[in-house]
Amino acid sequence: MSPKVLAIVLAGGEGKRLMPLTADRAKPAVPFGGMYRMIDFVLSNLVNGGFLKIVVLTQYKSHSLDRHVTKTWRMSNLLGNYVAPVPAQQRRGPWWFAGSADAIYQSFNLINDEQPDYVIVFGADHIYRMDPRQMVQDHIDSGAGVTVAGIRQPLASADQFGVIEVGADGRRIRAFREKPTDAVGLPDAPDQVYASMGNYVFTTKVLCEAVERDAGDKTSKHDMGGSIIPMLVERGEANVYDFRDNDVPGSTDRDRGYWRDVGTLDSFYDAHMDLIAIHPVFNLYNFEWPIYTDQPPWPPAKFVHGWQERVGRAVGSLVSPGSVISGSLVENSVVAPKVKVHSWAHVEGSVLMEGVDIGRHAVIRNAILDKNVIVPEGAEIGVDLEKDRQRYHVSDNGIVVIGKGQRIEL
């Protein structure tokens, strides 16, 4: 018989580094790629892999996230499948989740209800495709207490990641360190390290014992990566799973092994730019492993006017349903549903979220505009960064970010 598996998605992240996009929503609820929310990627991976009993642990500003999961991710009750958002409930005392390990500890009732053989614990805010069946099978075959997904990164960038150091066999984890400056390369690739992807597969008994022990340690940060994994590494019960070995149906050589942590505004922007190349670095058009999301009854995108310079057109861009490009030019951009770009406007290298309205003759360059931002006629964003810094949030790489519902004043 197939092993019983429960999937837990950690979706309580506050996402401070993504402000102002997280001013009104949890990080996993931030829109991505025009049509999606960040959480859709991990849920699609789990569902495509056949893991259909999923709980989503939420905490900060979770209303839009809870609503999206409840509306979108409905499984068959007949077969006992579900995707259930579970808010912090103070089950162990008068406190909210003190960290990702504490979130698991306070959710033991979910594990007890299902009695799974194995527990998948994945993060909710990364952009990637992964077949989790292969990682679960690798974990079962290894006999380890926990298996940690690792993605190969250059040794020189080790100080940017949680780094997994392995023994001579290339599998058993001998150290798990946060952003080390003296990391050791892999046995089969001295110029590379394993960066933790924040995805784990546990044998249920090992997970429960480790989390309960951690809960009693008042000095712990109660974090999965910072507390639980090092504990199991010390006990010799932790293995690494090489993400390079994961073979997703329909993947291309170009997007195979793609994984992006979109924890900063610049990485969020860069991940969008990965979508729009002729041969995308991350391919949304893989119909063998689709990314699922809510699909309201939006009409098709519309491009209108074709007179002299008043031509509605988009080049090198993704344009979502319900949008109208009217006598304007959109270049190298991602356009969400219900966006209107009016005549003679020019949008370049930008991310426009749902309901954005760009007035006539406006210029938008290298910007992220959150939902329902209104840009008046003739306004310029991303043209004069010094001026923009006085009025808006500008990232380290010069991306202008305007928060939800703002009306730009000239």
Annotated binding site: 162, 178-179, 196
Q: Which residues are documented as binding site for alpha-D-glucose 1-phosphate?
A: 162, 178-179, 196
Extract the tokens encoding 55: 């709980």
What are residue 202's DSSP bridge partners?
A: 119, 146
Q: Find tokens 């070995």 and name the residue.
A: 245
Long-range pairs, 66-75, Cβ under 8 A, ≥24 = 68/29, 68/37, 68/39, 68/294, 69/39, 69/43, 71/294, 72/40, 72/292, 72/293, 72/294, 73/43, 73/47, 73/292
Answer whether 38's CB lies under 8 Å from 44's CB.
Answer: no
Rounded Cα distance between 138 and 123, Å, is 19
Q: In 10 A of CB 352, how many CB atoms?
A: 30
Rounded Cα distance between 353 and 322, Å, is 12
Answer whether 96's CB lies under 8 Å from 70's CB.
Answer: no
Q: What angle do CA 365, 390, 30 make, to 5 degrees?
A: 55
Rounded Cα distance between 227 and 231, Å, is 6
Extract the tokens encoding 368: 């992220």
Q: Name the phi and psi angles at 388, rounded to 5.
A: -65, -35
Bond before 376 cis per omega within 30 degrees: no
